[in-house]
């Protein structure tokens, strides 16, 4: 008989051990899968185990002869159960994949089995056990597969364009929208070492690399590297760094927009308040209008950027103040043109409604659209420049990478004069570098600046830099060419200074020209901006000076949602200020070489509905820098290790029919050079243990909204 240590491939409540022990009479653990005749198992083998009343799959990560653990088994207050059956004697995960899954379980405070599951071969992969002489760890030098390179891209479209421009014959593509067949082929090619360049989005980090020597992260500041929209909320950049450490591979970042030298492109910042005063109510300032007109006359190209899709941000009744909102979300419905009919669309849940002609509340006809999106910009541009050929690039006009690529290719081939684009454009910066737009217009910097998040300044800066880089290839403006005799339409009153009139450039329109981010932009002072941004973050304890964990609770009942959130916030506050005297317990999956709690106990121990009735056993470690006997987790200031926000309704207080509440925790990082290590995570997790199962835990959230 043997004792096997197994990671169940399932979500297990975080108050319980994540590695479980089982008996197995059939097999012992061997070094090589070649001994399969004797039913020898390897680390990484796949089994079926009983888990409570369920049956789950599990991965073997260790084994001992039962004779060595007799005392331990006798003194345990639970019974051990048998493994149901062995599904695969040979490993389905490599040792590195197991190590990674265990680390990620600890880092993201979720079951390592969830990550192990993500590393499994896709369904029905034929022959997922290649000959070990070719791909296994014991392979000889002459049979060794060639070096592998992983290129991580933030978006699927970016992956496609990198794949198509890849010169290597042995390149493969990986992302969530591949067919099952394509996934199988890629997975296998990576596993047997046939694939040399692997280009993929975030989940590519879970592929079974055989000889990964290099990882390249494209556009590293792009938030899409994080799984912000799906559980588990992992960050592929962090995983890539861990992977590089485990596999001893090199990691580099390629940042196309930052790498470009921004040649003499001083942006023109246009005060839209002045335009209003001058009677210009259009989306174009006079300066931008004239620059566009002049570029068109000179047969040159223009890019107009707006970071919202649709026609308008929302519709508002001027008489009673009614705003059309989504039935499921507390968000205004955006005004769109769907199949050339005006309609209302919720950007959060996709609900569509017919656009009302009169106010549903007071029947007034004065129901008006507010703000503009890419469709509105297109319509307005057509109005002002009826002869210009216009292309629009957003997720409505081009939902698929192929469609987007076509639009970009057409623009580069000068089949159009004006490209109106949303953020989608940033997936195609490399392709666009072949274009030479004379004018770039950021129609509203305010929609970037006004996102209430500590990263909005940084993101605005990055967006502007990326747009600025597009202007890099433009022909130099012809000096002396000014007003070229076209007529300014009646809707535009000339009031802006004539400095840039008629000359190409990079135009930023804003109602807040004195914003500090724009100040640095104006001076092209990236270092200055970073310095100020870092000082602010340090003062307010934001990353990188802390690690943020966002706790989210959703419920259909408004009262229940708020109440639950307030109760947990109060509970956490008490735990932080009155830690129990016992020493910290390590995270469950950190226990090694000990008998794991048997799964029978699992069902009786599971804590349903939260911490009520659960005895908070472990206390908190007294931080070494703290005074002896005094906890360092307190809520009352910035100098302490943990900072806890009160329970707060989310920025979008109701989403998809549920009320949303957040609690933000900042765990201060005392020594930036040490980064986030094991001790930090244990300390942090000892608090997170008290968060009930029905809460969502997001480590390093992309926003705090």
Site residues (vs Zn ion, CB under 5 A): 317, 319-320, 322, 326, 328-329, 346, 348-349, 351, 359, 361-362, 364
For residue 215, what is the enclosing H or E element? strand 212-218
Q: Which is nearer to Zn ion, 364 or 473 (CB)?
A: 364
Q: How far is the CB of 80 from Zn ion (least distance, A)?
A: 49
Q: How far is the CB of 398 from Zn ion (least distance, A)?
A: 23
**Residue owning tokens 């069902």:** 603
**Category of 632 on φ-ψ map: left (φ > 0), alpha (ψ -120 to 50) or beta:** alpha
Q: How far is the CB of 156 from Zn ion (least distance, A)?
A: 24
Distance of CA 152 to the CA centre of its chain: 13
Q: In whole angstroms, what is the distance from residue 471 CA to residue 113 CA? A: 47
Q: How far is the CB of 662 from Zn ion (least distance, A)?
A: 19
Of 225, 357, 19, the closest CA to residue 700 belongs to: 225
Q: Which is nearer to Zn ion, 426 or 659 (CB)?
A: 659
CB atoms under 10 Å from CB of 519, counted, come to 15
Q: Which is nearer to Zn ion, 170 or 328 (CB)?
A: 328
Decide: 213 and 147 in contact? Cβ < 8 Å: yes
- Strands 46-51 and 40-41, how do they pair? unpaired
Q: Which is nearer to Zn ion, 258 or 361 (CB)?
A: 361
Q: In whole angstroms, what is the distance from residue 445 CA to residue 511 CA? A: 8
Collapsing DSSP to helix, strand or coil, 271 comes out as strand
Burial (Cβ within 10 Å: 0-12, 13-18, ≥19) of residue 55: exposed
Q: Which is nearer to Zn ion, 295 or 317 (CB)?
A: 317
Q: Which is nearer to Zn ion, 454 or 651 (CB)?
A: 651
Cα within 13 Å of Cα(82), Cβ side? 8
CB atoms under 10 Å from CB of 312, counted, come to 22
Q: How far is the CB of 243 from Zn ion (least distance, A)?
A: 37
Q: How far is the CB of 561 from Zn ion (least distance, A)?
A: 17
Q: How far is the CB of 653 from Zn ion (least distance, A)?
A: 13
Q: How far is the CB of 447 from Zn ion (least distance, A)?
A: 20
Q: Which is nearer to Zn ion, 322 or 542 (CB)?
A: 322
Q: How far is the CB of 21 from Zn ion (least distance, A)?
A: 46
CB atoms under 10 Å from CB of 630, counted, come to 10
Q: How far is the CB of 371 from Zn ion (least distance, A)?
A: 18
Q: In whole angstroms, what is the distance from residue 699 CA to residue 704 CA? A: 11
Q: Which is nearer to Zn ion, 329 or 408 (CB)?
A: 329
Q: How far is the CB of 132 from Zn ion (least distance, A)?
A: 52
Which residues contact residue 552 at a Cβ distance below 8 angstroms, ignoring those fewer than 6 apart? 650, 660, 661, 662, 695, 696, 698
Q: Which is nearer to Zn ion, 328 or 590 (CB)?
A: 328
Q: Which is nearer to Zn ion, 255 or 330 (CB)?
A: 330
Q: In whole angstroms, what is the distance from residue 294 CA to residue 397 CA? A: 27
Long-range pairs for 471-475: beta carbons < 8 A, 24 or more residues apart: 471/265, 471/437, 471/440, 471/505, 471/506, 472/260, 472/261, 472/262, 472/263, 472/265, 472/433, 473/433, 473/434, 473/435, 473/436, 474/300, 474/436, 474/437, 474/438, 474/504, 475/300, 475/436, 475/438
Q: Which is nearer to Zn ion, 19 or 316 (CB)?
A: 316
**Residue owning tokens 């216009």:** 390
């Amino acid at each position: 008989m043997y004792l096997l240590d197994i990671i169940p491939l399932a979500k297990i409540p975080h108050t319980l051990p994540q590695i479980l022990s089982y008996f197995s009479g059939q097999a012992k653990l061997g070094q090589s899968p070649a001994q399969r005749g004797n039913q020898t198992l390897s680390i990484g083998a796949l089994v079926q185990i009983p888990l409570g009343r369920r049956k789950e799959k599990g991965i073997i990560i260790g084994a001992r002869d039962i004779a060595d653990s007799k005392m331990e088994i006798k003194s345990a207050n639970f019974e051990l159960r048998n493994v149901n059956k062995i599904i695969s004697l040979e490993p389905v995960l490599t040792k590195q994949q197991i190590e990674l899954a265990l680390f990620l379980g600890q880092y993201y405070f979720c079951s390592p089995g969830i990550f192990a599951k993500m590393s499994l071969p896709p369904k029905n992969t034929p022959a997922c056990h290649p000959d070990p002489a070719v791909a296994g760890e014991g392979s000889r030098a002459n049979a060794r597969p060639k070096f592998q390179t992983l290129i991580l891209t933030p978006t699927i479209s970016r992956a496609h364009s990198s794949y198509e421009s890849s010169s290597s014959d042995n390149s493969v593509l990986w992302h969530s929208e591949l067919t099952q067949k394509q996934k199988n082929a890629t997975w296998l090619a990576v596993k047997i070492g046939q694939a040399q360049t692997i280009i993929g989005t975030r989940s590519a980090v879970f592929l079974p690399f055989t000889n990964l020597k290099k990882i390249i992260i494209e556009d590293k500041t792009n938030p899409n590297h994080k799984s912000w929209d799906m559980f588990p909320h992992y960050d592929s950049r962090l995983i890539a760094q861990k992977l590089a450490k485990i596999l001893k591979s090199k990691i580099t970042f390629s940042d196309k927009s930052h790498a470009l030298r921004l040649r003499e492109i001083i942006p023109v910042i246009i005060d839209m308040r002045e335009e209003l005063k001058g009677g210009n109510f259009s989306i174009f300032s006079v300066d931008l209008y004239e620059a566009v007109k002049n570029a068109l006359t000179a047969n040159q190209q223009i890019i107009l950027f707006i970071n919202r899709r649709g026609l308008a941000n929302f519709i508002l009744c001027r008489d009673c103040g009614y705003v059309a909102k989504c039935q499921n979300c507390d968000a205004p419905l955006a005004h769109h043109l769907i199949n050339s009919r005006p309609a209302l669309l919720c950007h959060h849940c996709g609900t569509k409604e017919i656009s009302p002609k009169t106010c549903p509340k007071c029947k007034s006809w004065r129901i008006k659209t507010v703000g503009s999106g890419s469709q509105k910009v297109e319509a307005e541009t057509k109005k002002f420049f009826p002869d210009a050929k216009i292309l629009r690039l957003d997720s409505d006009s081009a939902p698929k990478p192929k469609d987007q690529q076509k639009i970009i290719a057409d623009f580069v081939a000068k089949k159009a004069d004006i490209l109106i684009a949303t953020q989608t454009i940033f997936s195609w910066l490399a392709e666009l570098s072949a274009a030479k737009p004379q004018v770039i217009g950021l129609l509203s910097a305010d929609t970037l600046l006004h996102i209430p998040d500590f990263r909005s300044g940084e993101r605005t800066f990055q967006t502007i830099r990326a747009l600025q880089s597009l202007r890099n290839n433009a022909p130099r403006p012809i000096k002396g060419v000014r007003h070229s005799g076209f007529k300014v339409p009646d809707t535009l009153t000339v009031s802006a200074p004539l400095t840039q009139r008629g000359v190409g450039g990079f135009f930023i329109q804003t109602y807040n020209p004195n914003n500090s981010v724009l100040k640095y932009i104006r001076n092209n002072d990236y270092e200055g901006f970073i310095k100020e941004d870092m000082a602010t973050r340090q003062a307010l304890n934001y990353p990188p000076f802390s690690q943020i964990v966002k706790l989210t609770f959703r419920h259909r009942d408004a009262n229940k949602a708020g109440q639950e959130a307030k109760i947990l916030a109060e509970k956490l506050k008490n735990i932080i200020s009155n830690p129990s005297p016992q020493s910290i317990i390590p995270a469950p999956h950190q226990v090694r070489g000990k008998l794991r709690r048997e799964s029978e106990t699992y069902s009786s121990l599971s804590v349903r509905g939260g911490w009520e009735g659960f005895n908070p056993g472990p206390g908190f470690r007294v931080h070494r820098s703290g005074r002896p006997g005094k906890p360092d987790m307190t809520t009352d200031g910035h100098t302490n290790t943990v900072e806890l926000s009160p329970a707060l309704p989310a920025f979008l207080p109701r989403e998809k029919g549920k009320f949303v509440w957040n609690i933000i925790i900042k765990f201060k990082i005392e020594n930036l050079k040490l980064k986030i290590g094991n001790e930090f995570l244990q300390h942090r997790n000892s608090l997170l243990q008290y968060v009930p199962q029905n809460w969502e835990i997001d480590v390093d959230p992309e926003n705090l909204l």
